[in-house]
Chain A
């Protein structure tokens, strides 16, 4: 009886110890699956092909990460506002979701080093007469709720003190509203703007110029306390660049000048 109790205690103790020592990185490797939060409404970073299969830069990036870890990738579609709840509730392990690494957000989640950088472009309805960023003043403008550009644009509209800012839930809604004339202009990442104008689904809109916002560096994210995983992500991003895979993926999905991911005169 005593032996049994002892054995039980031992099993319980090792069981608990085992759980306590395995970190998130171990969990991912053990489970054999890497679940990535990807926004599939954000071409060319994340979208679906004719067969409804997820494709895009972020999808490839997640697949590369899974390959490096020796596990299978599982793409979990998360609209922009649902990225964090998906992570916190344990539905995904890591976010490969074009997430801007703001200091405000970093108080909640852990970010890797930047893996991509966006320039912002102004797309306008041709009837609006908007020809540049500054001529948006006083007009009705909008962007996708919860994105870097939406936050920056709303701030700018408040500074101008005239006009109106409207956030929509998806990138498709923004371009629909823009094409219909509900919005007169939008600021989005230039890659997204080009991709959407090119589809021809949204007649009457065109890219009119750059938006003078800071470069929008986006990072992978994971739970803030999972240092093992975050370290791995940092190294992974570094290796993607080192091996030329970043350039390859950029050429495949976006094309043009490769954005540099380092900040001059700074360590990280």
Chain B
């Protein structure tokens, strides 16, 4: 039994607030991807480096990021570090949590992409007089990013959806946080979350479609 009358006008007047929230959600996701990709490249390099401790750091990061819930990672970035006296705002905690997660998953994507590039290419570069760094930077890295481009958009979609976990650390300016706030105020749960769901869907669909268009333009053979 579902005894409820939908009153859309009660929530449509609050749509601008939710759209503001959607912008914050995008902001967190984009930032977490930019930093996440950078960190993932560093993790990949650490893994390739011969040094054992560096390798262990990278492996540890990737293992934790991939094998624990994102909720745990975000919670740790807020309440966990606070027990050592380090205080981050909800925004920063959420950003750190998602970035940590992104970096771990993306590093794993990059590893898969690297496997698809024959290592004879790096050797060919070296034989042309490039340094190891040059060979990686000019030959391997661009191909790696190209191969893992679509998996990266997947991660971007994940990042968008993960922002909804920010409410657990007191975030109330992102789309989900704003929706929760409005829900507490009006008790119009079903309309509000239906709208939030549609906004999430539109954002992620927009990202996957535009990624596909960009990919077809950029990566023509």
Contact = CB atoms under 8 A, between A and B. Distances in A.
A84 B187 contact: yes
Prevailing SS type, chain A contact patch: mixed
Given A147-B184, A176-B79, A177-B79, A84 B189 contact: yes
Prevailing SS type, chain B contact patch: helix
B206 interface: no
A181 B87 contact: yes
Given A145-B167, A169-B167, A225 B188 contact: no
A146 B180 contact: yes
B72 to A, nearest CB: 14
A21 interface: no
A168 B2 contact: no
Report the contact-size class of chain B (Cβ under 8 Å from the partner).
Answer: 20 to 34
Given A88-B3, A166-B170, A169-B167, A105 B79 contact: no
Given A182-B82, A182-B87, A90 B183 contact: no
A88 B189 CA distance: 9
Contacts of A167: 167, 170, 172, 177, 180-181
B221 interface: no
B186 A90 contact: no
A164 to B, nearest CB: 8
Interface residues of A, number: 33
A225 B187 contact: no
Contact of A108 (B78, B87, B181, B187): B187
A151 B87 contact: no
Contact of A142 (B83, B170, B186, B187): B170
Given A88-B3, A90-B3, A150 B82 contact: no
Interface string A79-111: 011001100111000000000000011011100
Interface of B: 1-4, 7, 10, 78-79, 82-83, 85, 87, 89-90, 167-170, 172, 177, 180-181, 183-190
A-B interface, 9 closest residue pairs, ranked by CB to CB distance from nearest: A146-B184, A166-B170, A108-B187, A180-B82, A105-B187, A90-B1, A88-B4, A84-B187, A168-B170
20 contacts: A88-B2, A88-B4, A88-B189, A90-B2, A104-B186, A105-B186, A107-B10, A145-B172, A147-B184, A151-B185, A154-B181, A167-B170, A167-B180, A173-B168, A177-B79, A177-B170, A180-B82, A182-B79, A182-B87, A223-B3
Interface of A: 80-81, 84-85, 88-90, 104-105, 107-109, 142, 145-147, 150-151, 154, 164-169, 173, 176-177, 180-182, 223, 225
